[in-house]
Amino acid sequence: MEYRQLGRTKEKVSVIGMGCWGLGLSRDTGEWTQEVASLHRGIELGMNLIDTAERYSSGRSEELVGEAVKDCRDDVFIATKVAPPNLRYDAVIRACKDSIKRLGVPHIDLYQIHWPDPTVPIKETMSAMEKLVQDGLVKYIGVSNFSVSETDAARAALAKNEIASNQVEYALSNRSVETDILPYCVREKITLIAYSPLAHGHIARFIPTDILQKYDVTPAQAMLNWVTRKEQVVAIPKAGNIKHQEENASSIAVRFSTADYEKMSSG
């Protein structure tokens, strides 16, 4: 596994992490066992970045992540999110403590604002985020689905901390962040966490066969390799089964040539 610095921090996160949307959604406890086993396998393979949210499966996703990491807390980097309507000062503090309880950990590594809410002053949300850092409940602050101007406003609202990351949708089949958010993140040393990097499982069928053969990769692996070709990007595919997790973990074993990345981009 390859690791990259998170924002301007000294923290190293795996270039391929594990998204946890949909974990615990099923009522079938057998499926939960499989999801936890899949996370265990990913951790074994060096995927230390785990992304969840208070919203996912009404908190069950965080509980399953907690179950998966209970014997290896120090080996993983846990990112979760506070969602609107919890962006008022007191609500942020309460939501964070609830997430910590569900995760069963002493602190959250990266606490992200899931979506911006223009009805709540960003200064108020960020004051709460800084209080959580000060109290040791959160290590780093991130945002998600923030535009460039919203990220600027979030940064300006922080007194002592920096925005470490912006989590946005980015895949070979959805490249809208390349116009402004990606260049901004590269310039400002903010990690871009690419969500839905496998286009929600709609794996691209248009990747040139010669590239797949040359690097001996599957289409899903080629998509993850491509999306993380820039130093400032890490990706968080969701894999509910071990076979997919293993495939994703080995997707960047070999880097493609610039010409081949360009060929994929223009395909």
Give the binding site for ligand NAP (CB under 6 A). Answer: 19-21, 51, 114, 144-145, 167, 195-201, 203, 220, 236-241, 244, 247-248
Residue 168 phi, psi (nearest 5): -140, 165
Q: Is 149 exposed, middle or buried (0-12, 13-18, 19+ CB in 10 A)?
A: exposed
13 within 8 A of 233, measured Cβ to Cβ: no
Q: Which residue is nearest to ligand NAP (CB)?
A: 19
For ligand NAP, give the closer residue by CB, 152 or 247. 247
The distance of closest approach from Cβ of residue 238 to ligand NAP in the complex, given in angstroms and rounded to an integer, is 3
The span from the CA of 180 to the CA of 24, in Å, is: 35
For ligand NAP, give the closer residue by CB, 141 or 198. 198
Q: Could you give the residue ranges of the DSSP H alpha helices within 87-199?
A: 89-103, 122-134, 148-156, 181-188
For ligand NAP, give the closer residue by CB, 136 or 206. 206
The distance of closest approach from Cβ of residue 159 to ligand NAP in the complex, given in angstroms and rounded to an integer, is 25
- Dihedral (CA of 71, 9, 153, 121) sign: positive
Helices (H) then strands (E): counts for the chain: 10, 10
The distance of closest approach from Cβ of residue 244 to ligand NAP in the complex, given in angstroms and rounded to an integer, is 3
The distance of closest approach from Cβ of residue 14 to ligand NAP in the complex, given in angstroms and rounded to an integer, is 14
Which structure tokens are listed for 252?
């960047």
The span from the CA of 164 to the CA of 8, in Å, is: 7
For ligand NAP, give the closer residue by CB, 196 or 232. 196
Q: Residues 3, 56, 89, 111: which is the catalytic one?
A: 56
For ligand NAP, give the closer residue by CB, 4 or 238. 238
**56 tagged catalytic:** yes
Residues 22-46 as b/e (b if ≥16 CB within 10 A, e otherwise) read ebbbeeeeeebeebbebbbbbbebe
The distance of closest approach from Cβ of residue 21 to ligand NAP in the complex, given in angstroms and rounded to an integer, is 3
Residues belonging to the active site: 56
